[in-house]
Amino acid sequence: MTYKDVYSAWRTDPEAFWLAQADLIDWDSAPTRAYFDQGPAGEWFVDTRVNTCRNAVDRHVEAGRGDQIAIIHDSPVTGQIFRLTYTDLRDRVARLAGALRAQRVVTGDRVIVYMPMVPEALIAMLACQRLGAVHSVVFGGFAAHELAVRIDDAQPKAVIAASCGIEPGRVVAYKPLLDRAIEAARHKPDTCVILQRDQLVASMVDGRDVDWHDVQRNVEPADCVPVPGNHPAYILYTSGTTGQPKGVVRPTAGHLVALQWSMDAIYGIKAGDVFWAASDVGWVVGHSYICYAPLIAGATTIVFEGKPVGTPDAGTFWRVIQDHKVKSFFTAPTAIRAVKREDPQGTLIGDYDISSLQALFLAGERADPDTVTWAEEKLGVPVIDHWWQTETGWAVAANPLGLGLLPIRKGSPAVPMPGYDVQVLDEAGQPVPSGTLGPIAVRLPLPPGTLLTLWNAEDRFRKSYLERFCGFYETGDAGYVDDDGYLFIMARTDDVINVAGHRLSTGAMEEVLASHPAVAECAVIGVADPLKGQVPVGFLCLKKGVDATPDGIRDEVIALVRDRIGPVAAFRTALIVDRLPKTRSGKILRATMCSIADGQTYRVPATIEEPAVLEEIGVALQVAGFPISKT
Ligand code: COA
Ligand code: AMP
């Protein structure tokens, strides 16, 4: 079936379409219907009972593929390559689940997972699924404060963490960050299971911390516990407009059905194929396409503990593709830009046999046409941009390789996937003609696998996504559709920025800057960056009579953001200005500041209080080395 057939089959009868896809899942109690008009935005496969771990692991062993490799850990930062078969994986997951159960973790309990790119991270996630416990994985690049915020919101019974992560040139001690986070949090987990890595052995807290291996000794392996279809599979926190992250709740059954469908249809991957998503388990790409989807589909997944460059060089990606015969590869455009910057001619590609590769998939930020063209020319395979979000869990728009590739239009993530009726709207919520820029929304209900709600925050869920356009989910992205139905995603409509493929909140950074005693007011904007896509730039107005040097304050606020949010914020530029540009009603004109910093021509807003302030912002940016624009 072609894309056109599949999309129109969904449009004609969504219920029949999703029930047919559900046949590929092993149910403990099969669906009698697909859609249920309940919850804040509708729910799927509610009347089922099912277990994610059974579908991702056990069923492949039972089907006779126990000897197939499930996970390859390729770790250039430690020099290790390690393979785990589906049988090994089942046994390890069942044992860890048994150990968690012995620690009184039961169905519905939350478990925070704070681990680097090691196979134990996937084992921990799957062990939670086995029990019906709800994991919440926290990215290693966040600081203790961010971890504490998540602990307080998710209220985990247990935490599973590693002693350390490894960044090029430094070992990141996770355990002291975890200890600080638990100390700061109001909620205290009962147990912390600690994986001690050779690179750094962490000290343990008596009565709370248990060693990963010790805790599993002599425990009875746990079986899979079937859960209702709308049981939360996991919570994944993502950036919103404030310092309080949004806990996206993923429903179990829809997640299974949608990811199973996507592996073959979008990525052209079947059982036994090797699939590689070079992301991190802390992000949604890592959840869906390092852990769940490849395993649900019975493929081999790669857990890569390295960087696109510097581990040891810009040929690492091509070496991994060669060594493990990767068929489809998925990464962020920023990673390809990093490789291109180090190896502009793509010379290192020639050192490896990458003939197994059928396509490169890009997501996480807009894939700029230059990067797509470079990768296409150097790799000789289709380079496929696709657009999605933590909230959706799988692609809203893509060029589905498994359904026969459509013509590629650079700069566009192509066309909506089944389940998504994507519309560009005007301020009144009416669809606009093709070619017109506007906020992008998806007609409700969203398809299976998309967020159920926000954890502990249903009101926020409604306000953030459902209220602005009646009957639609508001994506937070703006763009347009061309005459042939190709989508172009151009910008966010909120305070979210995208730094090296990492989604961050400028609002959260502003909260940190404002907490500095010398800062009277501040603004943070995302400024275009040739490598990272965007970088945050802070503007500070100081309190009168502050007794500190501007340089000292700059260093302090930069350190504060690193300490409160984490190194991943990549906050390195703070500019001290006398005033911020505001409307007469006092709203800071962040969009105009962005235009100035990005070198775009801009119009002085009619509502501005003092137009001269824009000049001052321009001067501050120019002094800091940004190529600014004029009105
Ligand atoms: N644990 C601890 N620290 C981390 C971390 C982790 N998991 N991930 C990143 N950091 C740190 C980095 O070490 C760096 O620290 P530094 O300020 O001390 O140098 C800081 O966070 C910023 O990291 P990053 O923005 O990633 O910049 P970089 O210069 O280290 O690397 C790229 C640039 C482009 C190579 C890298 O960002 C990359 O590979 N991006 C792809 C991201 C991706 O796959 N996203 C998923 C969407 S599909
Ligand atoms: P995250 O929730 O971290 O996956 O980030 C989602 C956001 O990243 C989206 O809302 C977009 O703003 C941006 N994004 C992801 N993929 C793309 C893409 N292919 N093109 C443009 N923007 C993208």
Q: What's the predicted TM-score (pTM) here?
A: 0.96
pLDDT of 92 > 80? The answer is: yes
Residue 628: its pLDDT value, please? 66
37-51 pLDDT, tens digit per residue, is 999 999 999 999 999
pLDDT of 464 > 80? The answer is: yes
Residue 445's alpha-carbon distances to 38, 260, 397, 441, 601, in angstroms, are: 10, 20, 16, 11, 39
Residue 260's alpha-carbon distances to 452, 524, 614, in angstroms, are: 19, 40, 51
Residue 351 CB neighbour total at 10 angstroms = 12
Q: Is 320 helix (H, G, I), strand (E, B) or coil?
A: helix
Q: How confident is the model at residue 630 (pLDDT cuts 50, 70, 90)?
A: low
200-254 pLDDT, tens digit per residue, is 999 999 999 999 999 999 999 999 999 999 999 999 999 987 778 999 999 999 9
Interval 87-106 mean pLDDT:
98
CATH node for 500-623: 3.30.300.30
Residues 6+ apart with CB under 8 A from 449: 44, 250, 251, 254, 255, 256, 257, 258, 259, 392, 393, 394
Q: How confident is the model at residue 550 (pLDDT cuts 50, 70, 90)?
A: confident
- Domains 87-225 and 500-623 agree in fold: no
Higher pLDDT, 625 or 436: 436
Ranges of each domain in the chain:
87-225, 500-623
Separation of CA 568 and ligand 1 centre (Å): 6
Residue 493's alpha-carbon distances to 437, 496, 550, 563, 586, in angstroms, are: 12, 8, 32, 28, 20
Residue 135 in contact with residue 256, Cβ under 8 Å? no
Interval 504-519 mean pLDDT:
95
Residue 470's alpha-carbon distances to 438, 444, 451, 473, 495, in angstroms, are: 16, 9, 18, 8, 22
Q: How confident is the model at residue 629 (pLDDT cuts 50, 70, 90)?
A: low
Residues 6+ apart with CB under 8 A from 117: 73, 75, 165, 280, 281, 303, 304, 305
Q: Which CATH class is domain 87-225?
A: alpha beta
587-623 pLDDT, tens digit per residue, is 999 999 999 999 888 888 888 999 999 999 999 999 9
Residue from 238, 288, 389 whose mutation best tests the ligand 2 pocket (most atoms within 8 A of CB): 389
Ligand 1 pocket, Cβ-based, cut-off 6 angstroms: 140-141, 165, 167, 172, 278-280, 283, 285, 307-309, 331-332, 334-335, 338, 363-364, 499-502, 567-568, 570
Residue from 334, 337, 339, 558 whose mutation best tests the ligand 1 pocket (most atoms within 8 A of CB): 334
Residue 526 in contact with residue 593, Cβ under 8 Å? no
The angle that helices 252-265 and 14-22 make with each other, rounded to 10 degrees, is 90
Q: How confident is the model at residue 8 (pLDDT cuts 50, 70, 90)?
A: very high
419-439 pLDDT, tens digit per residue, is 999 999 998 999 999 999 999
Separation of CA 315 and ligand 2 centre (Å): 26
Separation of CA 215 and ligand 1 centre (Å): 32
